[in-house]
Amino acid sequence: MHGLYLPDFFGTGKVYLRGTAYHQAIRVQRHRVGERLWITNGKGLIGQALVTAIRPAEAECEVEEVLERPGEPPAPIALVAAVLKQPMRMEWLVEKAVELGATALYFLPMARSLRRGVNKARLVRVAIAALTQNLRSWLPQIEVSENWESVPWESYSQRLMGEIGATSTLRTMLAPTPQPTLWVVGPEGDFTADELAYLRQKKVQGVSLGRLRLRAETAALAFLSHLKTIWEY
């Protein structure tokens, strides 16, 4: 069942569906009076609401139950990813990252990125669609920046990156208990020597994801899938 994104929902009581939420609930999902639906505010809450009235451009609902951060990872998870050549691959990455529990996404045009510009508004729409599709309560922060210093490195006690030639594996490098974790993914042409030096200065540790060489977006999702399995969220 799809949910609805309602950022101004904060607890039990009446809520009103208008605009996109109204269209999605009444025109697309075809909810009727007396039926229940799920809403998420993207800030940690999910609620089950009863449709009590439907008017031409507004639906009235009564929130009956509220859940706080159900199914969310036990610690923040950030991806720092290069701007990719094909926008649809970045959209696919955002969609799957939301589904797998990422809490923040930072996109950077790295030295070997073949594309510089990013349609941030489009990526946010993709993230909201994924949020409602799998009933997540937390909408990941999405940032697009021109420089590495915009990443809040110090907010993440565990910092890792996929590195060709690394001998340590992801499993052995992960801390035994969940903690704020950041994963860095390079562009199609990999990191430059200067970028690797900067990342090491920021105490980002290189790990191997196996012998098969993965696309940038696949490496990101392999990391998230691994965390989801290990942390059991």
Mean pLDDT by 10 residues, the chain (233 residues): 90 94 94 96 97 96 96 96 91 97 95 84 96 95 92 97 89 90 91 95 94 90 94 93
Q: Which of 132, 143, 23 is nearest to 78 (CA)?
A: 143
What's the whole-model pTM score?
Answer: 0.92
User: How far is it, in rounded angstroms, from Cα 38 to Cα 34?
Assistant: 14
User: How far is it, in rounded angstroms, from Cα 183 to Cα 155?
Assistant: 13
The secondary structure of the chain in percent helix, strand, coil, rounded to multiples of 5, reads 30, 30, 40
Q: CATH 2.40.240.20 in the chain, residues? A: 4-68
User: How far is it, in rounded angstroms, from Cα 160 to Cα 143?
Assistant: 19
- Report the 10 Å Cβ neighbour count for 3: 22
Chain mean pLDDT for the chain: 93
Q: Which of 53, 97, 52 is nearest to 79 (CA)?
A: 97
Q: CATH 3.40.1280.10 in the chain, residues? A: 77-231
pLDDT value for 201: 97
4-68 belongs to which homologous superfamily? Hypothetical PUA domain-like; domain 1 (2.40.240.20)
Which CATH number applies to 77-231? 3.40.1280.10
